[in-house]
Amino acid sequence: MSLLALALAASVATAPVQGRAVVECKVLPDGHLTQCRVISESPAKANVGAFALVLVKAYRIPPGDRRVIKGQIRIPLRFMMP
């Protein structure tokens, strides 16, 4: 499923207006992410973190990505209104 399709499938109620989130995930050998959790979000309780978790389901991390440390990656996301 494409990133856009995942985003559209998310409930309108969970879509943030704007904000930031950092998600930490375990990276599997094939580049898929698992065991993702929200490390931080701003503004608090604005569903920014929940929406970020939906989006990272479509991420694939290429082999040798320098952001992967001890099998984990932190992904910062910023949401802005156009």
Q: Strand, coil or helix: what is 2?
A: coil
41 in Cβ contact with 52 (< 8 Å) = yes
Domain with 52 in it: 3-79
Residue 64: what pLDDT?
92
Residue 79: what pLDDT?
83
Residue 11: what pLDDT?
42
CATH number of the domain within which 42 lies: 3.30.2420
Is the confidence at residue 12, as pLDDT, over 50? no
Query: Count of domains in the chain?
Result: 1
Q: How confident is the model at residue 4 (pLDDT cuts 50, 70, 90)?
A: low
What mean pLDDT do residues 24-29 have?
97
Is the confidence at residue 46, as pLDDT, over 50? yes
Q: In whole angstroms, how large is the CA radius of gyration of the chain? A: 13
User: 24-57 as b/e, with b when 16 or more CB fall inside 10 Å?
Assistant: bbebeeeeebeebeeeebeeeebbbbbbbbbbbe
